[in-house]
Amino acid sequence: MSDHKPEEAFRVIDRRPFTAEGELRKEVVEQEEREAKREAAKVPATPSEAPKTAPAPPPAETPERIAAFENLVRMLGSNAAMVLGAYADPRTGQPMIDPEAARELIDMLDALHEKTKGNLSPEEDTLLLDLLGKLKMTYLEVNQAVAAEAAKAKAKARP
């Protein structure tokens, strides 16, 4: 008698979801159907049966916060606030007001928000939206004040 065990064969399983023709494999379709049925079984039949205290789970892949992005947003926001008169010019002590420069910086932040939509962490998105809202309101207030001053100076210049 020999102690010879039959050798176990090495098996290769193709787990690629597509065939050589580019179509979904039958096994993949069946697996997706089984998963969909399992998910449907987990969901309550009526909305009234749904737990009301459980918050919706966050998306599977929430983008992580990046400090450099937040610093960029804050830097642009600080520069916009500076030209909207939030800071005094160190040489003169007077607030610096340049509505055109402020508008450009606000437009940059708007473009940044548009181009990064869906790729920001919730904190980054909130930071950007809050900053944009505050800057836009300040911009409107400064523009109204500048227009009122210009009208006042024009009225004073007339004899």
Higher model confidence: residue 137 or residue 51?
137
Least confident of 16-30, 98-112, 114-128: 16-30
Backbone angles phi, psi at 65, to 5 degrees: -70, 140
Q: Has residue 109 got a pLDDT over 90?
A: yes
pTM of the predicted model as reported, rounded to 2 decimal places: 0.58
Query: What's the confidence (pLDDT) of residue 58?
Result: 54
Q: Would the pLDDT of 14 be above 80?
A: no
- The residue among 156 and 28 whose pLDDT is bigger is 156
At 110-136, the pLDDT tens digits run 999 999 998 999 999 999 999 999 999
Question: pLDDT tens digit string along 49-81?
Answer: 555 555 655 555 788 899 999 999 999 999 999
Buried b (16+ CB within 10 A) or exposed e, 7-28: eeeeeeeeeeeeeeeeeeeeee
Separation CA 85–CA 80 (nearest Å) = 9
pLDDT at position 53: 57
Mean pLDDT of all residues in 10-18: 67
